[in-house]
Structure 1
Amino acid sequence: MGFLSSLLGIGGGIIHVPALASMLNFPIHVATATSHAILAVMALSSTIVHMIQGSFWEGWQTAVCIGGGVIVGAQLGAGLSHRVKPKGIIIALAGALLIVGVRLLFAK
């Protein structure tokens, strides 16, 4: 999944969630949470590599701001996820896939 998402230049969640839900029969809420856990591990490992290489420190202020937004957004998303029906998550994911598809068609 990581190779395919990086090849397409997209986030892996758009690929993880449908694969977990359709191929492995995960409930959509579990598939979404599992996808987020996978992406968190990948982001942490990437951050560590960038720190070791020294490229992280060039824009650390931006990274801290984004990290703060991610922490707040994750809490809000987790709270809202209990209110969203599985069909709503699937529709939102389908919309995100449509947007990615259109962007890929018109990418230079």
Structure 2
Amino acid sequence: MRRFYDEYVKDSDRVEEESLLRVADGYPRPTVHDLRRTATTHMSKHGLGKEVRSRILNHKDLSVDAIYDRYAYFEEKAEALQGWHAYLKRLLQKEFGDVDWVEFYGRRMELVTCTEQD
């Protein structure tokens, strides 16, 4: 994520054209933990319990009952992550229209990777 962000902000024309990230002086660059914190806060706001949030974040449960609770919460985690995906997709669509960002940046990153390897 740091490499992507650092490369992104080097190209001021691209930042201006796409407006994908709000880059401002004095703000630290985003980290993966910022994404985790934002996703967890969103899920809390929408009523997802601490047990499922902790499992999504892959936090170790040190409580006594964790020894006995072997349920994996797959369905609950999947539902929560699908909700988070839908929320992010709506934000991007609102801002940029129907651009498939995963496909767009996936292809761009493939080109960068191929160029770096040559």
TM-score, L = length of structure 1: 0.33
Report the structure, 1 or 2, having the larger helix content.
Answer: 1
Q: Which of structures 1 and 2 has the larger relative contact order (alpha carbons within 8 angstroms, sep 6+)?
A: 1
Work out which of the two has the higher radius of gyration on C-alpha atoms and give 1 or 2. Answer: 2
TM-score, L = length of structure 2: 0.31
